[in-house]
């Protein structure tokens, strides 16, 4: 594969080595095979590899076997955690030199940066990745994958990464993909928990979640518009309450708290809304918009941007 991202092997048929055949690794192997890639796969438990070998993957008996011979276009890693990544790649020894490593193992930004340094010391080009979907989405064109790290690795791996989903490049800081993954999961958990709380609330009077959910989806279309409205406010630190003031939000939250209490629905989440809103009002944001809550959430002092 050339530095421009064009496949260089015969027939432009990429060769990929996949280390780890868990749920996500197996999904990646199947997606790559269905796209015509030559795939070698290794897993600590050979039983995990057998179904993949049955559909065309080459089963490697060891790390050394998996990385024997000429380097593949991409070596993809998907294992339990970052200590496991280092253990697996450490077994490769000098075979890592010159390889393009793409790590899809979930971890923290700090772990990703340390892993990039470790790989760089062994002359490997390292790209950290995050899959923003379940394994069922791997191989679908619109499934979002986040990547950050070595520019050489990004350019070389891009044709293979496109076979897994929609790759988004977040730049040379190897920890950035993990940071964005964590932040996006934050949004998911908050959204799903709010939906579950709402379902419990309407469910207390006989409405099913199935009946409630289409209205939630429709409402989220309106909420998505607020994200675009509030984003520049957050960046500029100015929060005009032209759509609704924090004081009005506090009043609505009080109604939600009362409705939840009267119906025996858990109030911990609602009380958190109320506490954040009350703190912002005490800080002088009574007439500001909802985005002013960012002042209660962000770390004090200037934003940290790793060099």
Q: In whole angstroms, give the CA distance from residue 57 to residue 32.
A: 10
* pLDDT over 70 (residue 268): yes
C-beta of residue 120 within 8 angstroms of C-beta of residue 128 = no
pLDDT at 10: 44
Give CATH for domain 204-297.
1.10.1040.10
Closest residue by Cα to residue 178 from 136, 149, 155: 149
What does the pLDDT read at residue 245? 98
CA distances from 154 to 100, 274, 288 (A): 9, 44, 43
Identify whether the C-beta of residue 291 lies closer than 8 Å to the C-beta of residue 285.
Answer: no
pLDDT band at 303 (very low <50, low <70, confident <90, very high): low
User: What is the tens place of the pLDDT at every residue in 135-146?
Assistant: 999 999 999 999
Q: Supply the pLDDT for residue 54.
A: 98
Instruction: Report domain extents, the chain.
Output: 10-172, 204-297
What is the third-level CATH fold of 10-172?
Rossmann fold (3.40.50)
Contact 147, 121 (CB under 8 A): no
User: What b-and-e string marks burial along 217-235, b requiring 16 or more CB atoms within 10 Å of the CB?
Assistant: eeeeeeeeeeeeebeebbe
| Residue 100 host element (H or E) | strand 100-103
pLDDT at 12: 72
Model confidence, pTM: 0.92
Average pLDDT over residues 154-159: 97
pLDDT, mean over the chain: 94
User: What pLDDT digit, counting tens, does each position of 96-148 carry?
Assistant: 999 999 999 999 999 999 999 999 999 999 999 999 999 999 999 999 999 99
Contact 48, 78 (CB under 8 A): no
CA–CA distance, 246 with 231 (Å, rounded to integer): 17
User: Above 50 in pLDDT, residue 6?
Assistant: no
Strand 15-19 versus strand 38-42 pairing type: parallel
**DSSP assignment letter at 127:** E
Which pLDDT tens digit goes with each residue over 193-246?
999 999 999 999 999 999 999 999 999 999 999 999 999 999 999 999 999 999
Q: Decide: 170 and 147 in contact? Cβ < 8 Å.
A: yes
Q: Would you say the C-alpha torsion 304, 305, 306, 307 has a positive or negative sign? A: negative
**pLDDT of 7 strictly over 50:** no
Identify whether the C-beta of residue 172 lies closer than 8 Å to the C-beta of residue 149: yes
Whether 296 contacts 276, CB under 8 Å: yes
The pLDDT score that the predictor gives to residue 1 is 37
H/E segment holding residue 146:
strand 144-149
Q: Whole-angstrom distance between the N-terminal and C-terminal Cα of the chain?
A: 30
Give the percent of the chain with pLDDT over 70: 94
Nearest in space to 155 (alpha carbons), one of 31, 39, 52, 4: 4
Range in 9-18, 232-241, 283-292 the model is least confident about: 9-18
**Pick from 173, 24, 185: nearest CA to 104:** 24
> What is the per-residue pLDDT across 157-199, written as a single tens digit (0 to 9) for each?
999 999 999 999 999 999 999 999 999 999 999 999 999 999 9
Confidence of residue 302 (pLDDT cuts 50, 70, 90): low
Q: Which residue(s) pair with 145 in the sheet?
A: 131, 167
155 and 4 Cβ atoms separated by less than 8 Å:
yes
Q: Is pLDDT at 3 greater than 70 in this prediction?
A: no
70 confidence band (pLDDT: 50, 70, 90)? confident
Residue pair 111/83 in contact (Cβ under 8 Å)? The answer is: no
Residue 142 CB partners (closer than 8 Å, separation 6+): 165, 166
């Amino acid at each position: 594969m050339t530095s421009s991202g064009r496949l260089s092997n015969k027939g432009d048929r990429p060769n990929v080595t996949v280390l780890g055949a868990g749920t996500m690794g197996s999904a990646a192997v199947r997606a790559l095979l269905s796209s015509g890639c030559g795939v070698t796969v290794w897993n600590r438990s050979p039983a995990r590899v057998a179904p993949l070998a049955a559909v065309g993957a080459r089963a490697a008996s060891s790390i050394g076997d998996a990385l024997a011979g000429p380097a593949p276009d991409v070596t993809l890693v998907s294992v339990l955690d970052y200590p496991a990544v280092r253990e697996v790649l450490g077994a490769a020894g000098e075979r890592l030199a010159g390889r393009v490593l793409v790590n899809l193992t979930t971890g923290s930004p700090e772990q990703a940066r340390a892993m990039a340094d470790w790989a760089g010391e062994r002359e490997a080009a390292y790209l950290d990745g995050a899959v923003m979907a379940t394994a069922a989405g791997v191989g679908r064109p619109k499934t979002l994958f986040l990547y950050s790290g070595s520019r050489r690795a990004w350019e070389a791996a891009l044709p293979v990464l496109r076979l897994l989903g929609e790759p988004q490049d977040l730049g040379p800081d190897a920890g950035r993909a993990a940071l964005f993954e964590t932040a996006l999961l934050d949004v998911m958990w908050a959204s799903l928990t709010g939906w579950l709380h709402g379902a419990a609330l309407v469910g207390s009077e006989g409405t099913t979640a199935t009946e409630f959910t289409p209205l939630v989806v429709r409402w989220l279309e309106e909420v998505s518009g607020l994200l675009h409205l509030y984003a520049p406010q957050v960046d500029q630190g100015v929060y005009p309450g032209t759509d609704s003031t924090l004081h009005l939000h506090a009043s609505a939250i009080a109604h939600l708290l009362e409705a939840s209490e009267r119906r025996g629905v858990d109030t911990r989440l609602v009380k958190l809304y109320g506490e954040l809103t009350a703190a912002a009002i005490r800080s002088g944001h009574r007439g500001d918009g909802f985005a002013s809550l960012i002042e209660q959430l962000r770390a004090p002092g200037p934003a940290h941007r790793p060099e």
